[in-house]
Amino acid sequence: MRLLRSIYGQVLLGIALGIAVGVVAPDFAVGCKILGDMFINLIKMIVAPVIFCTVVVGIAHVGDMKSVGRMGLKTILYFEAATTVALGAGLLFVNLLRPGDGVNATVDSLDAKLVAGIAGKAHAQSPMEIVANIIPHSAVDAFAKGDLIQVMFFSVLVGMGLAMLGRRGEFPLKVVHAFGDVLMKVVGLIMHFAPIGAFGAMAFTIGKFGLGILAQYGMLIVSLYLTFIVFIAVFLGGVMRFYVGLSLWKLFRYSREELFILLGTTSTESVLPRIMAKLNGLGVDKSVTGLVMPAGLSFNMDGSCIYLTMAIGFIAQALNIPLTWEQELGILAIALVTSKGVAGVAGAILFVLAATLQASQLLPVAGIALIIGVDRILNELRCVTNAIGNMVATLVIARWEGKIDLAHARAVLDGRITPDFDLLDDEDAVADAIPAREPAAAFRRPLPAAVPAT
């Protein structure tokens, strides 16, 4: 079958087989977790160097440091606006749908030991602490820990340094560029293991928690997924249509392989290199993808923000603790700070949830025990929403900065151009990908300017 020859078709098959194995042989399925972990580790091994090469090349080609600073400021402004809307959507829908009503749990009945480890490690950072943590203790430490926001910070400095060198920076820039091409080939090799990783992760989830958990937490799951869908369709879809000028649905179709891999692995990092390459394939400048996408992993997790406020509302309703609208707005304000720094891996949001509960002091941290069992199930679409939100953010900043060829992007999304992701900076390769019936000049995007001479 043609579908099974594509990566996303194989990933779909892996997810389906994972569900089947999880139901039929749950003990065996739990052991399959190692397959998902191995695939995620393969990606984590390569993602920091990919970010480094992409950001360095993009920033060095920009040359104008004022442009980089302006782009960074616009990125922060959009991130804050998007996460505020996401947090507000979570609060709105949890109050409208009230998934926690009828649970009637009590504080005494909560298993505090179940969340003791999470509560002990949770820490609500101040805005200044968040900014301070962007700067690594050393460049090696940032790469060793895989802290992408710190890697990005170091990469921006290196890119600025190469730009300031002028002609002397051309050779090291070519080396970084060539190394980045090699890394993208490695990413392509790793992607062949995506179906196995998706199978292992999904088999573990179903084998560990079973399908019965869907009935037990049915209303919460339905409420959360409905909120995700409305947020994506209304807010992100509206931004794409009325500001960027592109179709969100066509963007889904264009990036379907990455979204299905993400659905199976529930790790945003697992598809980051490929998503960045595909955004470049749309005609987005590398300086934009290199800055916005890695930063979004920490500062623009829309799905996690929706989950955060909805989980807090669910805990309050389940414990029959009423919250006034002033208290809910206070939680939203706290969550605007605590939601920053969410890692792109499953389970990290629980630490943020604990930190938010500790900071607000309105609900017991032990209330996390009410949702800890279903967190993995809820993480599926949460990660997908995070990724879609960051793709849209990248396109918004590119449109804002004038660093996207919209004619080229529409041609790619319409299927008139199939870009070669390994040759995105080669103008002739892009032109060769255009069918003969299309006027090639109309869809060629200009190459980035050379490193400015000093």
Residue 451 covered by a domain: no
For 438, which DSSP code?
Answer: S
Name the least confident of 44-53, 73-82, 305-314: 44-53
Residue 171 covered by a domain: yes
Residue 453 covered by a domain: no
pLDDT greater than 70 at residue 345? no
Neighbouring C-beta atoms of residue 197, cutoff 10 Å = 28
For 13, the domain range is 3-443
Q: What local confidence, expressed as pLDDT, does residue 2 receive?
A: 61
Residue with tokens 């609208």: 325
Most confident of 64-78, 224-238, 372-386: 224-238
CATH code of the domain containing 287: 1.10.3860.10
Residue 169 covered by a domain: yes
Residue 452 covered by a domain: no
Most confident of 141-145, 171-175, 394-398: 394-398
Number of domains in the chain: 1
Residue 289 covered by a domain: yes
* Greater model confidence, 6 or 176: 176
Tokens representing residue 373 in the block: 């069992």
Average pLDDT, rounded, for the chain? 78
Return d(Cα 67, Cα 75) in angstroms, integer.
12
Residue-wise DSSP of 416-436: S----TT-TT-HHHHHHTS-T
- Average pLDDT on 317-336 reads 86
Return d(Cα 76, Cα 66) in angstroms, integer.
16
Residue 435 covered by a domain: yes
Residue 449 covered by a domain: no
Tokens representing residue 224 in the block: 């959360």
The CA distances from residue 33 to 43, 201, 270, 347, in Å, are 16, 5, 15, 15
Q: What local confidence, expressed as pLDDT, does residue 432 receive?
A: 37
Q: What is the pTM of this model?
A: 0.73
Q: What local confidence, expressed as pLDDT, does residue 226 receive?
A: 93
Q: Is 246 in contact with 254 (CB distance < 8 Å)?
A: no
Return d(Cα 332, Cα 131) in angstroms, integer.
20
